[in-house]
Structure 1
């Protein structure tokens, strides 16, 4: 029974690791991996000495930090609200409405945002222009780029995140709530002393996983929402790698960045796991 899963990871996760050799080569499509010139750490020096690198790191870390801070709490809050709803038909409706956006692609989400915020024809932009006489162009405003990213990500992913916490809430022993009621605890006391501790381990686990991906920052969403006027605050490592590796065919530098991200992600996961255990959590392993 384990064989299909083991084969999947060997074929699609471990064998492709051989491609990391490209990060230490001046890769040539015609010569292939084994025929390309070995240049050592030259590609890494190219990345770290790039004038864009400090801005890329800053933007990536900030956007990822905002995602961790502002996206995890709505998941927990929605799960707690759904857990308190006693009308099952109403609870199912709320779950369906909040979970639905998760299945939309970011292209569709951007289309919806554009229909509201387009400078000339967007619903909100038109209303603002008609009432104030000023032109509203939030999609190209550097001050609004990151908030729009976070708000759309919350709208799209909160329902899915809440389901994970609802699954954790379902494992809490109901006898704990019954004992709390006997002791005179109200709903808020039950949430504070039973519900929140019951999902603490899941929250820590998801937090550790998010920390491990802190250098990702959501490439697909950022790439779709990105435009030339907001590069200063929105250009992240992955969008730079896409332009350098795919559009410019510089696969070696792109692979070097991927290798760098993997090492940093691994170190962050190990560190976060140790900190979690020091604070009394179970961690990942």
Structure 2
């Protein structure tokens, strides 16, 4: 457990001290301690920046699409594997759908562009001379659906692990009893499967809300310049470009702190709602 604990202590809990930069005119050469205090000036500058609100809107839109279209898919895939595929075939399918999770985003983005890019496979096979049947890469309107599609292909299989573990704990006798009472597949799912795995679903949904404003920094950074900042800027890339490239460390730290506060509020609220529903949630 020591390496895992060290990682969280150094890069998560220890890094919390860096939030003080949001209230300072931080200069790297002076350090955190010697940089002058500016109070809430960085937050005022942040909230007056139209680019930040555009990035926040893009972040929320991507988060909504990921929750609606990505979050249910691992459960559906787990149900499919659990109910239909058996034995060695199940293990083979699991290995195949898990594999993309271990591929870096650089490779994933390159694969998608080789298939649906302007000179990609689909346009080469079905497009005419100089025609682009699939106009995705560089099209700002296609940015958000493309991000969700890449996420689904890469991590949908990996997300089934916890759901499969939960499904294995459901008593098979309940399915048999429901079937004898005339319940079809849908009613067995609604009245047997879903109540049995509801605590796991709620737990994962709460944890997902905690990451709702973190929509995939590396994935988006690799494609931001292709689609343009108006369509592809999110809070994390806003922080990166303003801090690392622009030198606005205090304003960027304020943006990151603002994101963390909103995420914490969402987790706290969702956990309270889970308690009112009779579930344990993330914490008591």
| Superposition TM-score, scaled by structure 1 size | 0.91
Call closer, same or farther: CA 1:133–1:184 in 2, change over 3 Å. closer
Query: CA offset at residue 195 of structure 1?
Result: 1.2
1:1-285 alignment runs, 5 A limit = 9-119=8-118, 121-130=119-128, 133-134=131-132, 136-285=134-283
Q: Is the 8 A contact 2:58 2:231 kept in 1?
A: yes
For structure 2, list consecutive stretches of 5 or more residues without a partner in the other structure: none
Call closer, same or farther: CA 1:269–1:38 in 2, change over 3 Å. same
Structure 2: distance between partners of 1:142 and 1:5: 39
Call closer, same or farther: CA 1:4–1:109 in 2, change over 3 Å. closer
Structure 2: distance between partners of 1:249 and 1:257: 14
User: The residue matched to 1:227 in structure 2 has which SS?
Assistant: helix
Stretch deviating more after TM superposition (172-181 or 127-136): 127-136
Call closer, same or farther: CA 1:90–1:135 in 2, change over 3 Å. closer
Call closer, same or farther: CA 1:134–1:95 in 2, change over 3 Å. closer
Stretch deviating more after TM superposition (174-183 or 193-202): 174-183
Q: Is the 8 A contact 1:74 1:158 kept in 2?
A: yes
Call closer, same or farther: CA 1:260–1:184 in 2, change over 3 Å. same
Deviations 1:242-271 (A, max 9, x none): 101112232222211111111111111111
For structure 1, list consecutive stretches of 5 or more residues without a partner in the other structure: none
Structure 1: distance between partners of 2:240 and 2:101: 24
Call closer, same or farther: CA 1:259–1:112 in 2, change over 3 Å. same
User: The residue matched to 1:34 in structure 2 has which SS?
Assistant: helix
Stretch deviating more after TM superposition (94-103 or 227-236): 227-236
Call closer, same or farther: CA 1:128–1:3 in 2, change over 3 Å. closer
Query: CA offset at residue 136 of structure 1?
Result: 4.5
Call closer, same or farther: CA 1:136–1:161 in 2, change over 3 Å. closer
Structure 2: distance between partners of 1:86 and 1:59: 39
Q: Is the 8 A contact 2:55 2:233 kept in 1?
A: yes
Q: Is the 8 A contact 2:122 2:133 kept in 1?
A: no
User: The residue matched to 2:59 in structure 1 has which SS?
Assistant: helix
Call closer, same or farther: CA 1:5–1:95 in 2, change over 3 Å. closer
Structure 1: distance between partners of 2:46 and 2:243: 12
Query: CA offset at residue 144 of structure 1?
Result: 1.0
Structure 2: distance between partners of 1:38 and 1:261: 21
User: The residue matched to 2:32 in structure 1 has which SS?
Assistant: coil
| Superposition TM-score, scaled by structure 2 size | 0.91
Query: CA offset at residue 196 of structure 1?
Result: 1.6
Call closer, same or farther: CA 1:280–1:126 in 2, change over 3 Å. same
Query: CA offset at residue 173 of structure 1?
Result: 2.3
Q: Is the 8 A contact 1:25 1:37 kept in 2?
A: yes
Call closer, same or farther: CA 1:7–1:142 in 2, change over 3 Å. closer
Query: CA offset at residue 279 of structure 1?
Result: 3.0
Query: CA offset at residue 57 of structure 1?
Result: 1.2
**How many pairs align?**
283
